[in-house]
Structure 1
Amino acid sequence: MKKIAILYQDQPAPAINGITKPMKEGGYSDSGADIAYELSKYGFIVITPQASPNIENDLDWVFPDTEDGILAALNKGANTFWMNTVLYKHHPIHKFFDRNIKLIGQLPSDVELFDDKFYTNDLLKNQNVPIPKEQILSKGSNFHEIEEMQFPMVVKPLRGRGSQGVSKVENISELNTVLDDLFNAKKYGSSVYVEEFLEGQEITITVMPAGEYIIDHKEVEYVRPWCLPAVKRINHKNGIAPYSGEEAVIKNSMVLEDDELYSEAVFKISQLCRRAAEIIEIKAPIRIDCRANKEGKYFIFDINMKPNMTGASRPHRMDQDSLIMLAARKIGWEYIDLLKNIASQSWKVKSKVLA
C-alpha cells in the first residue's frame, strides 16, 4: 500500500558548470501542500510532518528534500516519495535508493541533464524535432557570435523555470541591457540562452509517461508517452507569457477550442512532443512549451522537467489550477483524478541507479 510523502525544495540547487537555477520562493511547498491535502481528502495515506496539518500552512503537509527530511518521512512510515522539487544528480534522495521505496517523479540525473535548455534542444534538433534557432551567450560575449540570428530574439536562463527571467529584445541595445542586467544580478550564472522570437501562437502540451490510466472510468494502457490537450497562452507581456509565480495561469491560459485542438498543425506538434518525451525517457509528466512561426508551424522551445502541480483544492487557493490541470479538465479529470493517475506511475528505485 502506498504511503506517500511529498517533498519540497528546502535549499537552492547546486550550480552546474557555472549555471544556477534560482529557487522558487517556498520551494514548491504550496503545490506540495495542494497535492497532499487533495490526496488525503480522498482516502490516500499521506505522511505529513504534523499529525493534524493546518489547511492553510503549507509546511504542515510537506517534508524538506534534505537527508533529515527524507529520513523523518521514512521514520513516519513513508514508502513512496512525490518529488515535487528541483532534482539534480546528487540529490539527497539518492542516499536512500537502497531502501524499499518508490518515486513519483523523474530520475534525478535526467533532470540535471535535460534542464539544460541548450543541451536538450540540441539533442532534439539532431533528432529532427523543430527547435528555434538558438545560441549560448556567456559573459563577455560579442554580438558577432549570433549574427546569423535576427531581431527580435528571446533571452532566457539556461536553467530557468517557465518565463521567469525571460525577455524579448528588439535590437542590439536592448540585448546588451538585458545581458548586463542578467550577468550583474548573478542570479542565473555565467551564460544565458538566446533564441529567435516566433511571432505565432504559443501553446503548452503536457506529456504523460507510458502506463495505465483511468479515463472516463475505463482503464487505458499507453505503451508510449501521450499528450493531454494543448493549452493556449494569452495576454503576453512584450511577447512573453507571464510568469506563473506572479500571475495565476487561469488569467492567461485556456484549452484550445476543438477546431484548433484537432488541427493538423497541433496534431503534428503533439506527436513531436511525444517523440521528445521518448527521447528523454520520462517517468512522470513534463510540460513542453511550443510556439508557431508566422506560417503557423509549431516549434518546441522549452521542456519543463518539473511542471507546476498546483490545484484548486484548498479553499484559499481556488484560483491556482496549473497548466497541467487546465489540460486535464478537458479529458474529464478533476484534480484528484490527475493526482491518482500520476501516483499510479510511481516507479521502484534500484539501489544501483545513479541519481
Structure 2
Amino acid sequence: MTNKIAILYQAKLPPIKNGIQKPMKPGGYSDSGADIAYELKKNGIHIITPIENPDNNIDLDWVFPDTKEGIEHAISKGADTFWLNTVLYKKHEIEHFFDKKLQFIGQLPEKVDIYDKYFTNELLRKNQIPVPKSELITSKDLTEYKLSLNFPLVVKPIRGRGSQGVTLVKNQKELDNSLRNIFSDKEYGDIVLLEQYLNGQEITITVMPSGTYVINHNETKLETPWCLPAVKRFNHKDGIAPYNGNIAVINNSLVLNDAELKSKEILEVYSHCQKAGELLQINAPIRIDCRADENGKYYLFDLNMKPNMTGPSRPQRQNQDSLTLLSARKIGWNYFELLKNMIRQSWIV
C-alpha cells in the first residue's frame, strides 16, 4: 500500500438539522484516530501527522481537525488519503476537496446526513426489514400527546451517539420525566424517538461494504455487503447497554459461539443487515445493533454509520477493542489487518 494517510477528527459540533442536534464526543474521536494512526505507522504504513514525532500519549499529535485549515495542513505535508474518522454531514469541509484526486476511507458525507435513526428505521421498514415500532415526540407535544405504543418504551435521541441519552421507561410517569429531562437539557434538540422495547438478547453486527478483502491469507472479492460475526452484549444497566466511553466493550461484549453463529435466527438477521448495507450503499463499515423479542426474532434498532474504531495499539490503551474489532478477531484479523482491509475499500469521487 502506497497511500499517505491522514486521519481526521471532529473539531466542532455538526450543524443543527430540523431542530435536531448531534452532540460531540469529548475529543471528537481523536482517541480512536490516534489508535488507528499509531497502529498503521507501527506496521509500516505511511501516516501523515501534524508534528514530526508524535507522542503516543497525546491524541492530537496523530490527527488533523476536520476543518478546511486542518485538511489543507495535511495536504501540505503530503497526504493523499483521508481517513474520515469524524462525524460527517452534507456540506462538510471535506467535500471541498473531492476534486483534488484524493482517496477517502469512510462514508460519503451526504449519505450520513440522511440516515438519522428515524429516517433509517422507516427506510428499513419499507423494505421489509424488521425494526421496532416507533414514533416521534417533539418538545411542543410535551403537554399533550397521544401515545400509540405500549410500555415499556425506549426514549432515544434522533442523532445521538451510542446509548448516550437513551433511557428505558416502564410507565407514563417515567416517560413524562424522561421527556422533560431530555428536552430541558437541549443537548439533543427538540425531537426524540420513542421505540418499542424488546426484552431478548442484544447483539451488534458490523456490516462491511462490498470490495476485495484478504481473509485467511486469501484475496477474496465480495460483490455485496457482508457481516462480521455477531457480538452479544450483556451487563446492561436499566435495560440499556452502557455507553462504551464509560465501560470498555470487552467487559460487556463477547462474540457468539460457533453454534449460535449458525442458528437460523442469526443467519436471518445477517440477511437483513446485509440488505440494509445495500440500501444505504455503504462505502465503509457500519454497525447495527439488534435485539430479539420473546420469540427470539431479531429486530434492527440502531444503525450507526460511523462505528467506533478504537483498538489496543498504544501501550496505555490495551483494553480498547471496539465491537468491530471483537468481530474481526473471530475471522482471524487483528487490529492492523482490520484497518488494512478498510484501507483496501478507499474510494475517490
Deviation digits for residues 58-92 of structure 1, max 9, x if unmatched?
A: 00000000000000000000010000000000100
Gaps of 5+ in 2: none
Match of 1:195 in 2: 195
Deviation at 1:142, TM superposition (A): 5.3
Equivalent residue runs for 1:312-323 within 5 Å? 312-323=312-323
Deviation at 1:146, TM superposition (A): 5.1
RMSD: 0.9
TM-score normalised by the chain length of structure 1: 0.97
Match of 1:353 in 2: none
User: Could you say what secondary structure the match of 1:348 adopts?
Assistant: coil
Deviation at 1:95, TM superposition (A): 1.1
Deviation at 1:257, TM superposition (A): 1.1
TM-score normalised by the chain length of structure 2: 0.98
Distance 1:267 1:158 in 2: 28
Distance 1:97 1:275 in 2: 28
Distance 1:171 1:193, change over 3 A: same
Contact 1:135 1:146 survives alignment (8 Å): no
User: Could you say what secondary structure the match of 2:272 adopts?
Assistant: helix
Q: Which amino acid aligns with 1:108?
A: P
Contact 1:65 1:93 survives alignment (8 Å): yes
Match of 2:66 in 1: 65
Contact 2:136 2:191 survives alignment (8 Å): yes
Match of 2:21 in 1: 20
Match of 2:90 in 1: 89
User: Could you say what secondary structure the match of 2:141 adopts?
Assistant: coil
User: Could you say what secondary structure the match of 2:214 adopts?
Assistant: strand
Deviation at 1:143, TM superposition (A): 8.3
Distance 1:320 1:179 in 2: 33
Bigger drift between 143-152 and 57-66 goes to 143-152
Percentage of identical aligned residues:
57
Deviation digits for residues 270-299 of structure 1, max 9, x if unmatched?
A: 110000000010000000000000010000
User: Could you say what secondary structure the match of 2:140 adopts?
Assistant: coil
Contact 2:206 2:327 survives alignment (8 Å): yes
Deviation at 1:232, TM superposition (A): 0.2
Distance 1:145 1:345 in 2: 46
Gaps of 5+ in 1: 350-355
Deviation at 1:145, TM superposition (A): 4.7
Q: Which amino acid aligns with 1:3?
A: K
Distance 1:143 1:190 in 2: 14
Contact 1:79 1:102 survives alignment (8 Å): yes
Deviation digits for residues 130-174 of structure 1, max 9, x if unmatched?
A: 010000000031587553211000000000111011000000100
Contact 2:64 2:74 survives alignment (8 Å): yes
User: Quick check: 1:179 aligned with 2:179?
Assistant: yes
Distance 2:343 2:234 in 1: 30
Aligned residue pairs total: 348
